[in-house]
């Protein structure tokens, strides 16, 4: 594994750690009563104000020209060609197996709680106190599912599934787009700008009065962390890693987020860690390692074939007779 790939894997692990912290901080802010759309608006706009100048000054000398074709490609690039799976080879089978193990771990954390493994009396007292805080109210058309027997937890799972699908599509589009427009910071800034426009419009129509836009000191700190670290920094690192590793491996790191969230919640919110979270986390890490190992083996094999091909073609271009050979008369 070369140096850039190692750094990209490390960056993706940090992205999920920061995202886990964002989940903990966001939960506290939402339980405190901040409007969900207002929170998203503030964090996206803050991230945009950071990404635009950084992308402009850092990539102004090597940024490809932004043509109409590039802008259209940003929306219309296909989803194919994301990852190769050669199932007849060991590496292809290991990829599929690693993906299934990773998905199984994430699913286990979602559907199986199990007994509390790491918990103390103080944790249980704190958990009981935080459960008395009113949770954020479910909004949107999915809230109508309550009449069919869905509770807050089930609706949250549906939101999470929708988030995963949108993230997969986004990474697929981004991975293709970076091949034509290899300025990863500019791509991140463009993506954030379109998202910010949409969320600002949603915020204007979803709020009733100006008081919804006021922030308490704790909510302001949550917005600053979410905008600077969880949005601007994380988006930049993920886009850079996508350029090096491809969208498939970037997506494989997403199941690490509930693992980091569970442990950070135990540290800062005094939440208990349950058996399902531990087993699921072990499966996620094992699956991620298997897929990474398979990708490394495939890359090694590809580099070996390319080296042999280059050596063969270089030898084939040599003249049959040396330059100093004399002509026989």
pLDDT at 229: 95
Pair 22, 225: CB distance under 8 Å: yes
Pair 92, 86: CB distance under 8 Å: yes
pLDDT at 121: 45
pLDDT at 125: 45
pLDDT at 6: 87
Residues 223 and 40: their CA atoms lie apart, in Å, by 8
Q: Which of 23-37, 138-152, 299-313 has the lowest mean pLDDT?
A: 138-152
pLDDT at 51: 92
Q: What is the pLDDT of residues 196-233, one digit of tens each?
A: 888 899 888 888 888 889 999 999 999 999 999 999 99
Residues 257 and 277: their CA atoms lie apart, in Å, by 11
The two structure tokens encoding residue 275: 């058996």
Q: Which residue has the higher pLDDT, 181 or 20?
A: 20
Q: What is the pLDDT of residues 66-79, one digit of tens each?
A: 666 666 655 544 34
pLDDT at 222: 93
pLDDT at 79: 40
Give the residue among 68, 83, 80, 66 at the shortest CA–CA distance from 187: 66
Residues 305 and 74: their CA atoms lie apart, in Å, by 33
pLDDT at 227: 94
Residues 239 and 12: their CA atoms lie apart, in Å, by 10
Question: What's the sign of the alpha-carbon dihedral 183, 187, 188, 190?
Answer: positive
CA distances to 53, 160, 210, 296, 301 from 309, rounded to whole Å, are: 44, 46, 66, 20, 12
């Amino acid at each position: 594994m070369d140096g850039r790939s190692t750094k990209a894997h490390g960056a993706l692990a940090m992205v999920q750690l920061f995202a886990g912290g964002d989940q903990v901080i966001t939960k506290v802010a939402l339980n405190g009563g901040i409007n969900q759309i207002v929170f998203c608006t503030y964090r996206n706009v803050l991230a945009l104000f950071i990404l635009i100048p950084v992308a402009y000054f850092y990539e102004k000398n090597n940024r490809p020209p932004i043509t109409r074709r590039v802008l259209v490609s940003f929306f219309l690039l296909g989803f194919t060609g994301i990852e190769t799976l050669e199932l007849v080879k060991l590496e292809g089978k290991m990829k599929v197996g690693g993906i299934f193990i990773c998905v199984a771990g994430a699913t286990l954390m979602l559907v199986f709680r199990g007994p509390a493994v790491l918990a103390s009396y103080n944790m249980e007292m704190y958990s009981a106190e935080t459960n008395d805080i009113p949770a954020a109210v479910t909004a949107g058309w999915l809230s109508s599912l309550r009449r069919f027997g869905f509770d807050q937890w089930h609706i949250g799972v549906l939101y999470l599934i929708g988030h995963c699908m949108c993230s997969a599509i986004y990474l697929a589009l981004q991975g293709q787009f970076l091949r034509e427009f290899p300025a990863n910071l500019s791509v991140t800034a463009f993506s954030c700008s379109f998202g910010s426009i949409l969320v600002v419009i949603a915020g204007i129509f979803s709020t009733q009065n100006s008081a919804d836009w006021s922030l308490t000191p704790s909510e302001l700190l949550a917005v600053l962390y979410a905008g600077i670290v969880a949005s601007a920094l994380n988006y930049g690192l993920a886009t850079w890693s996508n350029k090096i590793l491809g969208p498939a491996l970037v997506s494989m790191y997403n199941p690490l987020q509930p693992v980091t969230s569970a442990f950070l919640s135990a540290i800062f919110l005094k939440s208990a860690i349950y058996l399902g979270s531990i087993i699921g986390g072990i499966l996620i890490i094992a699956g991620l390692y298997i897929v990474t190992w398979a990708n490394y083996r495939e890359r090694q094999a590809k580099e070996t074939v390319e080296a042999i091909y280059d050596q063969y073609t270089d030898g084939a271009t040599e003249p049959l007779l040396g330059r100093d050979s004399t002509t026989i008369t």
